[in-house]
Amino acid sequence: MKDVAVLAFSGGLDTSVSIKWLQDKLNVDVVTVTVDVGQGDNLKEIEEKAYAIGVKKHYNIDAKHEFANDYIFPAIKANALYEGKYPLGTALARPLIASKLVGVAENEGAYAVSHGCTGKGNDQVRFDVTIKALNPSLKIIAPVREWNLSRDEEIKYAQKFGIPIKAKKSIYSIDQNLWGRSIESGPLEDVMNEPSVDVFEWTKPIEETPEEPEYIDIKFEDGTPTSINGKANDPVQLIEKLNRIAGKHGVGFIDHIEDRLVGIKSRETYEAPAAVAIIEAHKDLEKLVLTRHELAFKTKIEQEWAWLTYSGLWVEPLMDALNSFVDATQKRVNGVVKLKLFKGNCRVVGRGSPNSLYNVELATYTASSSFDQSSAEGFIELWGLPSRVARGKKVGHTKRREVIRTRT
């Protein structure tokens, strides 16, 4: 009986060639796995292709709801934006896919898990670290990384073994799931090139967006979105719906220079309408219900949370500790945020919560304010005391130096 290797299979050139590489070079049976995280692929077609190439067994796993509940929702609560821009769509999906690969490998008695990642990207780290953490006994095989073939060489190899090759749909490298769409390479590699209209799929170019703004209400319970405009949706439906609504107004297109984990700076473009709108609303609601100290400290936590996710350390124990803190803050993040969507802009124009710390009687500038202004003088006296004392020492030291220079 042959050894078994489990391969993450997308149906594309890299993973299709990987099937035959594993069979040809290592003489193993291959079991393929496609995990549905909302990428919109034809799973039946992918399964048929896997069997046509000669796999022993294929798994189609619907993980969209698990992705939304266990990966996207924690990211929302953490306001997760890598380098202040990237909502981590691809990075969030990788540890989930890796966990499914490990599960199938254990079920099939496989000795190895394989993926189609290159040696330049971040995904290889996300897969390898997660797989090794979940099951250290599994060998990891990355044919594209180990073989180091160009696309032209892969095509020749595929033709040699009769592997069907579809014409490349796009000049870009694209990864897509429920939380976002990543578009890179091609003309985008020139950082001075403005993205052309063929890049856009989820977000309308500004020139094609409606001439009237649209207002939407997003309700949050314990820091996670539960409804849009008063209509409750399950997590997957809510995200898909908001992708359509916000994308229609050109909201969610991101173009920035990103620092990859492997040390390369890359030009990255993303479409993430729902992510941009939800995180903007969530951050605003937090400002209404959390204290200044909670907000200041949570900002530091958010940066570390995004970094751990981006860099493939989803299984790092520190992540569990960060999530515990974040979850504790979210118990009061309940309420509704009103967003105005117009010409690529997503702006908060209203918010309300039963846990609001905003007190209009204190904040108002009218004579009816309950704030005792006479208290301000004593506060200012004590607030500025350390600075005044330090400044006095500095001034005194400067004067002494001037006296010394005069005497000499």
Choose the catalytic residue: 14, 36, 70, 217.
Answer: 14
Average pLDDT of span 8-14:
92
pLDDT band per the 50, 70, 90 thresholds, residue 1: confident
Give the H or E element holding residue 19: helix 13-26
| pLDDT score recorded for residue 251 | 98
Domain extents for the chain?
4-160, 174-290+332-358, 375-407
Q: Can 284 be counted among the known catalytic residues? A: no
Higher pLDDT, 351 or 382: 351
Q: Which residue spans within 158-314 are E strands per DSSP?
A: 173-177, 180-184, 214-221, 224-228, 231-232, 253-259, 265-271
Token pair, residue 128, equals 């390898």
pLDDT band at 380 (very low <50, low <70, confident <90, very high): confident
Please check the confidence at residue 22 and state whether its pLDDT lies above 60.
yes
Lowest mean pLDDT among 56-65, 285-294, 303-312, 392-401: 392-401
Q: What is the 3-state secondary structure (H, E, C) of 39-87?
A: CCCCHHHHHHHHHHHCCCEEEEEECHHHHHHHHHHHHHHCCCCECCCEC
Residue 400: pLDDT band with limits 50, 70, 90: low
| Predicted pLDDT at 149 | 73
For residues 73-98, average pLDDT: 97
| CA dist., res. 321 & res. 228, Å (int) | 31
- Catalytic residue, candidates 10, 16, 18, 94: 94
Catalytic residue among 170, 173, 185, 370: 173
396, pLDDT greater than 70 = no
Domain 4-160, second-level architecture: 3-Layer(aba) Sandwich (3.40)
- Assess whether 267 carries a catalytic annotation: no
- What is the rounded average pLDDT of the residues 374-393? 85
**For 219-245, how does the pLDDT look when each residue is reduced to its tens digit (9 = 90+)?**
999 999 999 999 999 999 999 999 999
Q: How confident is the model at residue 6 (pLDDT cuts 50, 70, 90)?
A: very high
Residue 86 has pLDDT above 60, yes or no: yes
Q: Encode 81-134 in three state secondary structure.
A: CECCCECCHHHHHHHHHHHHHHHHHHHHCCCEEECCCCCCCCHHHHHHHHHHHH
| Cβ burial 178-214 (10 Å sphere, 16+ → b, else e) | bbbbbbbeeebeeeeeebeeebbebbbeeeebeeeee
Query: pLDDT band for position 167 (50/70/90)?
Result: low
d(CA 182, CA 243): 14
Q: Worst-scoring range by mean pLDDT, 7-16, 95-104, 336-345?
A: 7-16
Q: Could you tell me how far CA 153 lies from the centroid of its own chain? A: 33
Give the per-residue pLDDT at 405: 64
* Catalytically annotated residue among 16, 18, 99, 123: 123
Which residue is it, tokens 């994308």?
A: 247
114 is annotated as an active-site residue: no
Q: What percent of the chain has pLDDT over 90?
A: 75
pLDDT tens readout for residues 31-62? 999 999 999 999 999 999 999 999 999 999 99
DSSP characters for 174-188? EEEETTEEEEESGGG
Q: For residue 189, give both structure tokens.
A: 């590699």
d(CA 311, CA 117): 15
Please identify, in words, the CATH class of the domain defined by 174-290+332-358. alpha beta
Active-site residue 123, yes or no? yes
What is the rounded CA–CA span in Å between residue 142 and residue 124?
Answer: 8
How far is C-alpha 288 from the chain's CA centre? 24
For the whole model, what pTM was predicted? 0.91
What separation, in Å, do the N-terminal and C-terminal C-alpha atoms of the chain show?
A: 96
Residue 57: strand pairing partners: 31
Average per-residue pLDDT for the chain:
92
Angle between helices 273-289 and 235-248 (to 10 degrees): 100
Lowest mean pLDDT among 12-26, 130-144, 154-168, 235-249: 154-168
* pLDDT score at 369: 72
Q: Collapse the DSSP code of 299 into the 3-class scheme (helix H, G, I; strand E, B; otherwise coil) and give the result.
A: helix
